[in-house]
Structure 1
Amino acid sequence: MYRFLLTPRWWGINVFVLLAIPFCIFMGSWQLSRFEGRVHDSRAATEQAASDQHETARPLDSMLPVDKATSGRRVTASGHYGKQLLVPGRQLDGKNGFYVLTLLRTDAGKALPVVRGWLPGEADAAKAPAPPSGEVTVTGALQASETPGDNGVSAQGGLPAGQTAAISSASLVNLVPDRLYDAWITLDKADSGMKAVPASAPQGTGLDLKAFQNLGYTGEWFVFAGFVVFMWFRLLRREVEAARDAALGLAPQEETAPAPVTSG
């Protein structure tokens, strides 16, 4: 009854099933590992952020370039404040407002963007307090340059003079004459009545939409594997039933065409 399994057609079906099931399981396991990796990164980033608040600040240059290991770490830098810019459209504690961003010219001859604090309302240079004069030493959380479109960072263009949508060397290079660090810091304690801006987790460490996409893809691949098994058993059952019906003479007979009538 199962001799049909040795036919070329069923050989092809069986080979496909034997290859498809392990492939689906492998892809599902890989997507699950990606999701678990993001969960681990998120927990590690949370724990790191908590410990960073109490660690001793280190010199800025010793923590560059910014990566997942150094993002959020406390650093210190000295220099003189220069040009000041506003970063509109930033929320804090559920309220709309703007960052006050000031360039710190260090002894290395480069400028470090420093977020001195946050103020509520529309971005207005008159509301932003002037930076301290003379040489200052700042301490804050190290952050990677922002990418427009990620983590709520606006990609808005055409802003008024003295404003920038993203805090990044790529965005600031056209606004200031200084050589820039590919990083920025947010002060531990904001200046002049402003609110301090908390450090954000490194990119790729949060449970964002991509993480849950990985989890969704995991379920899809395992469902595909189950579907392949289901279809194989369905085809097998249909073939067995057809063979059984044929053995019992229950298979429908093919209609034969009437013999042509020939004239004598």
Structure 2
Amino acid sequence: MYRFLLTSRWWGINVFVLLAIPFCVFMGSWQLSRFEGRVQDHRAATEQAVSGRHEAARPLDGMLPVDKGTSGRRVTASGRYGEQLLVPGRELDGRRGFYVLTLLRTDSGRALPVVRGWLPGPADTARAPAPPTGRVTVTGALQASETPGDNGVGAQSGLPAGQTPAISSASLVNLVPYKLYDAWVTLDEADAGMKAVPATAPSGTGLDLKAFQNLGYTGEWFVFAGFVVFMWFRLLRREIEFQRDAALGLVPDEAERAPAVSG
């Protein structure tokens, strides 16, 4: 009854099944490993951000460029405060408010964006405390430049003068007259009654949409493998039923089913 498995058609079906199942399992396992890798990166970045609060601060220039190994680490820089901007639409402890961002002009000639603190409510220049005058030394967590989509950053447009949607050199280049570091710092202790902004994990290390896409793809590939097995058994069952019906004369055999050739 199972001799049909040796036909060329079933050889093709069997070879496809034998190749498709391992491929689907491999792809599902690979996507799962990608998800697990992102979980590990997220855990390591979170632990680094926490441990970084207690380590000795290092000079800023020695910690650049910002990467997964330096993001969240404590740095120190000296200079004089210059232009001040507000970063609206930022949440802290479940409340919506804004960052007070001040540019620190360093001895290198470049300016370092410094988040001096957070205030609740809509961005209001009148509520933002003025920066200290004279030469200052700041200490805080080093952060990578933001891009739209990172940490809830939106690509806002049409903001009032004195506000910026993201803390990055690309967003600030047209707002300040000097070169900028491709990084920013959030102070350990906020100035003038503001609330300190905690360091965040670097981009690409969080349990974001991409991470859960990997998890979703994992499920899809294993479903595909199960579907291949299901279809093979379904085709096998139909073939067995056809062969049984043919043996009982309930369906025409191959010769009878072939169209007659007219002479």
TM-score, structure 1 as length reference:
0.93
The match for 1:184 is 184
The match for 1:261 is none
SS of 1:138 mapped into structure 2 = strand
Against the structure 1 CA distance between its residues 246 and 101, is the aligned structure 2 distance closer, same or farther, given a 3 Å change threshold? same
The match for 1:262 is none
d(CA) in 1 for partners of 2:195, 2:49: 19
Shift of 1:252: 5.4
The match for 1:82 is 82
The match for 2:121 is 121
Shift of 1:248: 3.2
d(CA) in 2 for partners of 1:94, 1:256: 74
Q: Deviation per CA, 1:22-53, whole angstroms, max 9, x where unpaired?
A: 11011100110011001111111121112111
The match for 2:151 is 151
The match for 1:3 is 3
d(CA) in 1 for partners of 2:39, 2:119: 33
d(CA) in 1 for partners of 2:51, 2:127: 34
- Amino acid across the alignment from 1:4: F
d(CA) in 2 for partners of 1:29, 1:4: 34
TM-score, structure 2 as length reference:
0.93
Shift of 1:156: 0.9
Shift of 1:3: 2.1
d(CA) in 2 for partners of 1:256, 1:83: 88
d(CA) in 2 for partners of 1:211, 1:111: 34
Shift of 1:255: 9.1
- Amino acid across the alignment from 1:65: P
d(CA) in 2 for partners of 1:119, 1:164: 15
- Amino acid across the alignment from 1:92: L
The match for 1:164 is 164
Where do 5+ consecutive residues of structure 2 fail to align?
none
d(CA) in 2 for partners of 1:227, 1:160: 55
Q: Deviation per CA, 1:69-124, whole angstroms, max 9, x where unpaired?
A: 11111100011111111111111112221111000011111000000001112211
Does residue 57 of structure 2 align to residue 57 of structure 1? yes
Q: Deviation per CA, 1:200-241, whole angstroms, max 9, x where unpaired?
A: 111111112221221111111111101101111111121122
d(CA) in 1 for partners of 2:178, 2:145: 16
d(CA) in 2 for partners of 1:34, 1:206: 12
The match for 1:230 is 230
Shift of 1:249: 2.9
Percent of aligned pairs with the same residue? 84
Shift of 1:2: 2.0
d(CA) in 2 for partners of 1:256, 1:160: 80
Shift of 1:256: 11
Shift of 1:245: 2.5
Q: Point out the more displaced range, 197-206 or 242-251.
A: 242-251
The match for 1:137 is 137
d(CA) in 2 for partners of 1:192, 1:28: 53
The match for 2:206 is 206
d(CA) in 2 for partners of 1:31, 1:111: 42
d(CA) in 2 for partners of 1:211, 1:126: 41
Q: Point out the more displaced range, 74-83 or 13-22.
A: 13-22
What is the RMSD of the two structures over their aligned residues, measured on CA atoms?
A: 1.7
Where do 5+ consecutive residues of structure 1 fail to align?
258-264
Against the structure 1 CA distance between its residues 138 and 245, is the aligned structure 2 distance closer, same or farther, given a 3 Å change threshold? same
Count of aligned pairs? 257
Shift of 1:172: 0.1
Q: Deviation per CA, 1:137-176, whole angstroms, max 9, x where unpaired?
A: 0000000111123321121111111111110000000000
Q: Point out the more displaced range, 32-41 or 145-154.
A: 145-154
